[in-house]
Amino acid sequence: MPARPRHGYFEEEELGKSYDIKILKRIYPFVRPYRAFILCSIFLIVLISLIDLSIPYITKIAIDHYIVPEFENEKVTRETKVRYIRIDITDAEKKEIVRSYPDLFEIQDKYAVIAFGNLSLLEKEDTAILRKGDLDGVALAAAAFIGAILISFILHFFQVMITEYTSQKIMYDLRIRLFSHIQGLSVSFFTRNPVGRLVTRVTNDVQNMQEVFSSMIVVIFKDALLISGVTAILLSISWKLALMSFTVLPLILYGSVYFASNARTVFRVLRVKIAEINTLFSETISGIRIIQLFGQEMKNYRDFKQLNHEHYTEGLRQVRIFATFLRFTGFTDIFVVAVVIFYGGRGVLEGSISLGDLVAFLAYMKMFFSPIQDISQKYNIIQNAMASAERIFLILDSEERLPVVNGRRTAGNESQTISEIEMADVSFAYIDDETVLKGISFKVCAGETIAVVGPTGSGKTSLINLMVRFYDPTSGRVLINGQDIKKSDVSELRSKIALVTQDPFLFSGSIRDNIFYEKDGYPEDAAERILAAANCKSFIDRLPDRIDTELSEGGTSVSSGERQLISVARAFARDPELIILDEATSYIDSETEAKIQEALSNLMQNRTSVIVAHRLSTTRNADNIIVLNKGEIIESGTHDALMKRRGFYFRLNQLQG
């Protein structure tokens, strides 16, 4: 089956790029407020590493000093390889035991020595008395071992808590910064960037960056410190045995890089497949009515099954790579242990190193290779996090904002009411060389109603976009009270405007939340008046929780006409000076249209209004009608005047019957 297209997914554009020091520099401002926490975490990592390094050494001391003790004057006969231990006979009880075995002990001043192998010939009670100090030492070593483990556990707990707290705070700040930045970008930015991409940036990519702070701190400090510390200890125990063990290090490093590179490729493909699965599933949920209506369930099932199989195949490939890598590192570990046992065991038998040295050496070798494996396994995670950081900063670097004239957003006239709106020779294009409005000029005075009509694609909605300053004109000026709106604060401008569209967007939440953004600003009696004026009260009163009824995503739990009435109520609550109606009664049945028209009439009363109309019946009472065709004004005037001309507007009326 041929590969399925990506369903518009653009996520994996430049993945797997090498770490860029510039990215780390850009991350630093988000880290700076939490430097004290990071330094504390690093300090704890150093303590944990030192404790971890001490644990095998405690084992060495227990073996060499207490279990198989060695002394400076130890008698070792190289021919027979016999080890002797020394007993202090100033203790009366020990002296009596020595006297009981004259053939096994040799008296040397205040001490008696016995061959280590002959200890088994003594009674167990006598051996316990003679080696009481060694038993106490072993108990002390065991207590030290357990104490070190407990301290390491406690320190590790606090280190993880501090690191996670810090990384979560940094992610919180970054997510807020990203969300705030995206909200301030112009509409053109959202026209070019799919919603899924932006959602991924704020959620997945920000979450991925957490690995930069958690994994990277551990890799840089803990693993690096362990590797350097273990190397020094191994060389101090037996430099010959250490160098012999290090001969496999180039092979391990090569294998780690090789497997990491292959895993990175699979990881990228898996991300793409997951994204495609998510996209297809999202499209299925959004378009389930169309899928069921046209009987496309089986085709959609086959598409999903194909994508799922591709993801499954890549998942198995990833498992094979990691399984091979783990077996490879496991083999090298076993090989090194075998080498150490062989050569180290010979050293113990020859007396060149102690048994404690050999046991500690083996423990340190395991500790040496563990950080190397850890670094190779975290390589992909950190690289993916850096790629996410790069994508996030691409958005933060985007400055697709409405330009500010003379470096100012306000010009001092924002508090004035809107007395006049004018478009002066305005032209506009979304894309260069594709002009959608050409030389548009008209004027609307306070309290007037102007209608904009024309066939689909004539530029009606584009005209509205310029009026509310979603875009700036390519040429010409949009003036309010004689002042270019580029010189006005856009938030102040929009606070005086209400826009009612043909397909209003409702947010998840209650009806009250969708109408009254400022909950405490609307007393119940004022809210009731607004609902009544918008013709909402009758259907809202029938709902289970009335105005506090929760709406589903997009407001799909209410009808399209009811959504429109809610949007009219939302405009009422804003108490605007300028009302813009963009095809506000399209796709509505006649009965609902009558309710909406009544609500709109109430809304437009004593307000300046701009009506973009597809149904020309809604334009008859407008003070002026502007007829657009192919981006140009071809006619203007009242309904009666335009009908008398028998021009384009007349023909549009004839077509609508």
pLDDT in tens, 366-382: 888 778 777 766 766 77
pLDDT at 403: 65
Confidence at residue 358, expressed as pLDDT on a 0 to 100 scale: 85
Arithmetic mean of pLDDT, 62-87: 62
- The yes-or-no verdict on residue 150 having pLDDT over 90 is yes
Distance CA 103, CA 1 (A): 89
Q: How confident is the model at residue 657 (pLDDT cuts 50, 70, 90)?
A: low
The stretch 35-55 carries a mean pLDDT of 90
Residue 1 in tokens: 């089956």
pLDDT of amino acid 16 = 44
Q: Are strands 550-551 and 434-445 parallel, antiparallel or unpaired?
A: unpaired
Class level of CATH domain 21-65+136-396? mainly alpha
Predicted confidence band of residue 79 (pLDDT cuts 50, 70, 90): very low
In the prediction, which pLDDT does 117 show? 74
Nearest Cα neighbor of 70 from 116, 15, 9 is: 116
Which residue is associated with the tokens 């809304």?
603
**250 vs 283, residue with greater confidence:** 250
Torsion of CA 349, 352, 356, 360, to 10 degrees: -110
Confidence of residue 80 (pLDDT cuts 50, 70, 90): very low
| 590 pLDDT more than 90 | no
What lies within 8 Å, CB to CB, of 77 at 6+ separation is none
Distance CA 549, CA 200 (A): 31
- Answer whether residue 349 shows pLDDT above 80: no
Domains 21-65+136-396 and 503-575 share a fold: no
Q: What integer pLDDT is reported at residue 380 of this predicted model?
A: 65
Q: Is 50 exceeded by the pLDDT of residue 424? A: yes
Q: Give the residue with greater pLDDT, 306 vs 248.
A: 306
Sequence spans of domains, the chain: 21-65+136-396, 503-575
Task: Give me the pLDDT at residue 36, please.
Answer: 92
> Hey, what amino acid is at 320?
R
pTM comes to: 0.70
pLDDT of residue 4: 44
Q: What percent of the chain has pLDDT over 90?
A: 5
Helices 560-574 and 524-533: crossing angle in degrees, nearest 10, is 130
> Residue range 420-429: average pLDDT?
89
146 pLDDT band, cuts 50/70/90, is very high
Beta bridge partners of 431: 434
What is the average per-residue pLDDT within 573-600? 74
Fold of the domain built from segment(s) 503-575: Rossmann fold (3.40.50)
Q: What is the DSSP string of 334-390?
A: HHHHHHHHHHHHHHHHHTSS-HHHHHHHHHHHHHHHHHHHHHHHHHHHHHHHHHHHH
How many CB atoms sit inside 10 A of residue 240's CB?
Answer: 12
In the predicted structure, residue 248 carries a pLDDT above the cut 90: no
* 19 pLDDT more than 70: no
**pLDDT at residue 559 tops 90:** no
Beta strands 608-612 and 449-453 are: parallel
Mean pLDDT, residues 607-623: 80
Contact 245, 253 (CB under 8 A): no
Q: Are 422 and 442 in contact (CB under 8 A)?
A: yes
pLDDT of 418 above 50 = yes
